[in-house]
Amino acid sequence: MKPSSSRSEALLRGLSGAADVDAELDDRALLQAMLDTEAALARAATDVGLLPAQIADEIARHCHAERYDPTALGAAADAAGNPVVPLVRELTAAVAEPARPWVHYGATSQDVLDSALALVVLRAAGPLLRHVEAAADAAAGLARIHRDTLMVARTLGQQAAPTTFGLKAAGWLLGLHEARTRLARVREALPAQLGGAVGTLAGYGPAGPAVVERFAAHLGLAASPLPWHTRRQPVLDLAAALGGLLAATGKVALDVGLLAQTEVGEVGEGGEGRGGSSAMPHKRNPVDSVLVTAAARRAPGLVGTLFAAAGQEHERATGGWHAEWEPLLELLHLAGGAAARTARMLTGLRVHPDRMRANLDAGGGLLLAEAVAARLAPALGRAAAHDLVKRAATGPGFRAALLADPDVRAHLSVADVDAALDPAGWLGSAGHLVDRALDLHRDGTR
């Protein structure tokens, strides 16, 4: 069997990524983005009259990744500290003699690698955002179908009060919707990088600003008003957006995993043949929940590395810039896998309303203690009502204890107590909140 050379085909890597996103992150994709950047440099110089069109054509003709060996370039990168230097050397040797002085014209290595990474993000974000949209659509479907499906809400790990599964799904939906909106906004603002050796654009003379505009346009990136060699806000914005997305998917995964526990049993992951155990034939593990949770737990360290690397000295960094490359690509990889798995998890989620109701009723009405206290509060005051209901809640049979307490019966009839113990009557604005989330999602996807 031939060893795999692709990051997305590695034995473990497929468990954390998505193939369509990873295809935009591998060595060939990054190499092509670097070559696209070199071609754009030549085209931009031609646009402003610094370079003959035939020279730019000759350079662009050789800017195809299949002409170069990423492994050899990676090995050669050790001598210069980045892969741009050996690539420029090979590209210069490949073009015709008249074009050689114009390869990499006016740029520095960071210009090429920063712009290439921005291109990689731009391209990988396409399938990534589609996965997030699919996950949000699936969450919206659950929220709509289960708008009024009763279940118990849990706070601090304990059963608390009634809610609806629709509201829980609406919370997932809004988290995914907000994360997608942030990432899409960052993607649209991704800037090209061009400043030359120290950020002055000296190699282009007075045409420098015009070259920047044309360079960015050729790449489909935003034109930055100044070079951002050591002003790393674009990277921080991207790190925060990807970290937020992984947090949103991680929230969904954690909830699903907890609700799928045997003792809870309120949901289960779908997918024929998924979730088996190597040792226990009876088990059906929430695999997508597990893998998304794992990705979410890796994200803070990567985001932290990018923020730690952002303090960069003077006009060019000594290590801070270099520390960004792999964490940034890894964040994209994890975000793609988490988004795709969350979409699959929610699309196939099996919801068990009967089990939700059984768990809600298991406390014998104790989950409605707040509702009973609220009915007593106008007559007794909030504190006294709270203490009275708490006293009834300590004995066996909450309803019976309430009806047997003369202080309760002085203010509440049997019908009043039964109404207070109806979970459907203690949902507040749950339905309205679900509808608001669905409206926001619908408006944001038009």
- Which position among 316, 341, 344, 399 bears the catalytic label? 316
Final residue in a domain of this structure, among 329, 356, 383 = 356
Active-site annotation holder among 4, 5, 6, 277: 277
Domain boundary among 310, 326, 356: 356
pLDDT of residue 220: 98
Q: Is 418 within the bounds of a domain? A: yes
CATH number for 293: 1.20.200.10
**pLDDT tens digit sequence for 365-409:** 999 999 999 999 998 899 999 999 988 888 778 999 999 899 999
CATH of the domain at 411: 1.10.40.30
What's the domain range around 399?
A: 357-444
Contact 153, 106 (CB under 8 A): no
Query: Do the domain assignments include residue 3?
Result: no
Give the pLDDT score at 139.
Answer: 98
Question: Of residues 8 and 169, which shows the higher confidence score?
Answer: 169
Rounded Cα distance between 366 and 160, Å, is 9
Domain count, the chain: 2
Q: Do residues 268 and 260 touch, judged by C-beta distance below 8 A?
A: yes
Helices 109-145 & 84-94 angle (0-180, nearest 10): 110
Sequence-ordered list of residues with C-beta below 8 angstroms from that of 20, at least 6 positions apart, any chain: 127, 336
Q: Examine residue 404 and state whether it is found in any structural domain, yes or no.
A: yes
Question: What's the whole-number mean pLDDT along residues 104-131?
Answer: 98
Please tell me whether residue 343 adopts helix, strand or coil conformation.
helix
> Are 301 and 418 in the same domain?
no
126 and 230 in a single domain? The answer is yes
Asked if residue 397 and residue 273 are part of one domain, the reply reads: no
Q: What confidence tier does 1 reach under pLDDT thresholds 50, 70, 90?
A: very low
How many C-alpha atoms does 79 have within 13 Å on its Cβ side? Answer: 9
230 in the same domain as 127: yes
CB atoms under 10 Å from CB of 18, counted, come to 25
Q: Are 350 and 372 in the same domain?
A: no
Whether 27 and 68 share a structural domain: yes
Residue 5 placed within a domain: no
> Virtual CA dihedral for 36, 40, 42, 47, nearest 10 degrees?
160
pLDDT at 280 exceeding the cut of 50? no
Mean pLDDT of the chain: 93
Residue 219 has pLDDT above 60, yes or no: yes
Distance in angstroms (rounded) separating the CA atoms of residues 180 and 141? 17
Q: Which of 325, 356, 387 is the last residue of a domain?
A: 356
Distance CA 109, CA 111 (A): 5
Instruction: In the chain, count H helices and then E strands.
Output: 18, 4
pLDDT tens per residue across span 123-163? 999 999 999 999 999 999 999 999 999 999 999 999 999 99
Judge contact between 290 and 258, C-beta under 8 A.
Answer: no
Both 350 and 371 in one domain: the answer is: no
Q: Has residue 4 been placed in a domain?
A: no
Told to judge if 274 belongs to the known catalytic residues of this protein, a careful annotator would answer: no
At 277 the pLDDT is 45
163-173 burial, b at 16+ Cβ within 10 Å, e below that, comes to bbbbbbbbbbb
Q: What is the pLDDT of residue 383?
A: 94
Same domain, 329 and 384: no
Tell me the C-alpha to C-alpha distance, in Å, between residue 203 and each of 45, 60, 195, 212.
11, 20, 9, 12
Q: Is the pLDDT of residue 2 over 70?
A: no
- Residues 175 and 167: beta-carbon distance below 8 Å: no
The string of pLDDT tens digits covering residues 43-82 is: 999 999 999 999 999 999 999 999 999 999 999 999 999 9
Q: Is residue 39 part of a domain?
A: yes
Question: Is-catalytic flag, 284?
Answer: no
Q: Is residue 132 part of a domain?
A: yes
For the chain, give the percent of residues with pLDDT over 70: 94
SS3 state of residue 391: helix
Q: Would you say residue 319 has pLDDT above 50?
A: yes
Taking alpha carbons only, the member of 344, 346, 367 closest to residue 356 is 367
CB contact at 8 A, 417 and 372: yes
Say what the pTM is.
Answer: 0.93
CA–CA separation, 117 and 432 (whole Å): 43
Residue 363 is predicted with a pLDDT of 87
Check whether residue 348 and residue 386 sit in a common domain: no
Q: Does a structural domain hold residue 7?
A: no
User: Over the Cα atoms of the chain, what is R_g?
Assistant: 29
Using alpha carbons only, what angle is made at residue 387 by residues 383 and 388, rounded to the nearest 5 degrees? 115
CA gap 319, 321 in Å, rounded: 5
Domain shared by 292 and 362, yes or no: no
pLDDT for position 286 = 86
Whether 144 and 47 map to the same domain: the answer is yes
pLDDT at 5: 45
pLDDT category at 431 given cuts 50, 70, 90 is: very high
376 and 259 both lie in a single domain: no
Q: How confident is the model at residue 394, as a pLDDT?
A: 84
